Amino acid sequence: MATVTAVSPSLKIPRARKAQDVTVTDPALVKRAVKAAALGNAMEWFDFGVYSYIAVTLGKVFFPSGNPTAQLLSTFGAFAAAFLVRPLGGMVFGPLGDRVGRQKVLALTMIMMAAGTFAIGLIPSYATIGVGAPLLLLAARLVQGFSTGGEYAGASTFIAEYAPDKKRGFFGSWLEFGTLAGYIGGAGLVTLMTALLSTDDLLSWGWRVPFLIAGPMGIIGLYLRMRLEETPAFAAEVEKAEASRPKVPLREMVAGQWKALLLCMGLVLVFNVTDYMLLSYMPSYLTSELKYDETHGLLVVLGVMAMMMIVQPFAGALTDRVGRRPVIAAGCAGFLLLSVPAILLIRQGSLVAVALGMGALGLLLVCFTAAMPAALPALFPTRVRYGSLSIGFNVSVSLFGGTTPLVVTALIGATGNMMMPAYYMMAAAVVGGFAVWRMSESAGRPLPGSAPSVEQR
């Protein structure tokens, strides 16, 4: 007869399990775990939203006056530089999370993210301290990048290991709901300040306000994360190791999982190229490349993200019913077929055309944001899940996702072809489609190395 292990808010290390063990999850505890994990993701993307939407202003504040395109490239260069250290953060925080626990590492990454973002709001301008300004901006971005190296993989692992098998897609989708909420919060604040403040006020002090808000947000997020216990899957892994936390060699996380790592990198590539294209690059594309009215452009993108937030939980539940693979495959096919028409609509310039083009890309992106938080952790066994996922996720994001604004801006500058965003998304869709073809379906099934998980009735 199956042994049943209940997981309550006062989580303890469970007794030794048999192969037939079943974990019964407390719905209230699962919701708390989802909220704490999603808030950290919201914090990360609040910064991304602020940075992307105020990129033109940051270029004027932190870099020498002259060519506006060069200023924008420099700003996105600092943005991209943070992604170069993300794999290092993943190699540190991921294995640490598999050794000492997910909750402790997620609390540490929250502190570092908040500190890095808050520090940007304190940096003097280029006019005040010269070359020290961009150097300090770069240093703060590197702190952010290092900490986020352990954030997404840890948060998705945390939710996946708490969620019942049949609702993992639904609960995982709230992680990206937090992404959109944070991005809307950051971008919305910048939009409001752009509308209310004069250009001089925005350049002199207004740009600092969104970054300084990160301090209180980080304290709230840290409080929520410190109140949580370890996941049932990690607790069981510790018990199997006789209550020790053995160090898993980095080689085992990479060489021992190389097939899953390649799949992870392919899935993350299409997920993040399209994500950063829509949420980070398109605001600047509308204003700097297409000369679109700044306020209207920002409002269109905010509207698209609000639409994505509404659809997100329903799409996550859909992945539990029909599977992760069909939903991700639909997103890849959509970007392959519709990227060119969508960008042509956006280039047409009218408010309706821009909204339709951006809305189409947003709905396609939901195919990834709803499915990936549940699909990616299921690629790896519990023993190495945090570490392997951190490495695969961050290497792919660093090489392809975070560099998207910089690469596309440079490609347009070199070729003069304004359709480069469409071609870049199409290429990513081809890679993602191959990864989907090779991956196994995980919906409704236990995580590798974990007992079946059901919801308490």
Query: pLDDT digits over 244-291, tens only?
Result: 555 666 677 777 788 999 999 999 999 999 998 887 788 777 877 777
Is there a domain that residue 165 lies in? yes
pLDDT class of 333 with cuts at 50, 70, 90? very high
SS3 272: helix
Distances (CA, A) of 302 to 186, 223, 274, 405, 441: 10, 29, 16, 18, 33
Is there a domain that residue 235 lies in? yes
**Could you report the per-residue pLDDT of 134-154, keeping only the tens digit for each?**
888 888 888 888 888 888 889
- pLDDT above 80: residue 308: yes
Is there a domain that residue 457 lies in? no
Range of 230's domain? 26-439
Structure confidence at residue 363 (pLDDT): 96
Give the DSSP per-residue string, 89-132. HHHHHHHHHHHH-HHHHHHHHHHHHHHHHHHHTTPPPHHHHTTH
Distances (CA, A) of 377 to 56, 259, 373: 36, 14, 7
Give first-to-last CA distance, the chain, whole Å. Answer: 20
Interval 11-16 mean pLDDT: 37
Across 279-293, 308-322, 331-345, 429-443, least confident range: 279-293
Q: From CA 293, how far away is CA 344, in angstroms rounded?
A: 17
Across 247-256, 302-311, 393-402, least confident range: 247-256
Interval 228-246 mean pLDDT: 72
CB of 150 closer than 8 Å to CB of 105: yes
- Give 132's strand partners: none
Is there a domain that residue 434 lies in? yes
Please name the helix (run of DSSP H) or strand (run of DSSP E) that holds residue 306, with its range, or none.
Answer: helix 294-322
pLDDT class of 8 with cuts at 50, 70, 90? very low
Give the DSSP per-residue string, 119-188. HHTTPPPHHHHTTHHHHHHHHHHHHHHHHHTTHHHHHHHHHHHHS-GGGHHHHHHHHHHHHHHHHHHHHH
SS3 44: helix
Q: CATH number of the domain that 35 lies in?
A: 1.20.1250.20
Which span out of 3-12, 72-81, 248-257, 326-335 was modeled with the highest average pLDDT? 326-335
Q: From CA 137, how far away is CA 59, in angstroms rounded?
A: 11
Name which residue leads in pLDDT, 219 or 238: 219
Mean pLDDT of the chain: 84
Nearest 10 degrees: Cα torsion 294, 176, 400, 149: 110
Please name the helix (run of DSSP H) or strand (run of DSSP E) that holds residue 282, with its range, or none.
Answer: helix 282-284
The full length of the chain comes to 457
**Could you report the per-residue pLDDT of 351-387, keeping only the tens digit for each?**
888 889 999 999 999 999 999 999 999 999 988 899 8
Is there a domain that residue 273 lies in? yes
pLDDT class of 10 with cuts at 50, 70, 90? very low
Q: From CA 91, how far away is CA 203, in angstroms rounded?
A: 38
Instruction: Return phi, psi of residue 446, to 5°.
Output: -65, 150
CB 90: neighbour CB atoms within 10 A?
A: 30
Q: Running DSSP on this structure, what letter comes out for residue 213?
A: T
Structure confidence at residue 69 (pLDDT): 65
- pLDDT above 90: residue 173: yes
State how many domains the chain has.
1
- pLDDT above 50: residue 11: no
Is there a domain that residue 302 lies in? yes
Is there a domain that residue 358 lies in? yes
The widest CA-to-CA distance across the chain, in whole angstroms, is 75
**Mode of pairing for the β-strands spanning 22-25 and 453-455:** parallel
pLDDT class of 242 with cuts at 50, 70, 90? low
Is there a domain that residue 452 lies in? no
Structure confidence at residue 241 (pLDDT): 67
Interval 429-447 mean pLDDT: 93
Structure confidence at residue 67 (pLDDT): 64
Q: What is the share, in percent, of the chain residues with pLDDT greater than 70?
A: 90
Q: What is the share, in percent, of the chain residues with pLDDT greater than 90?
A: 30
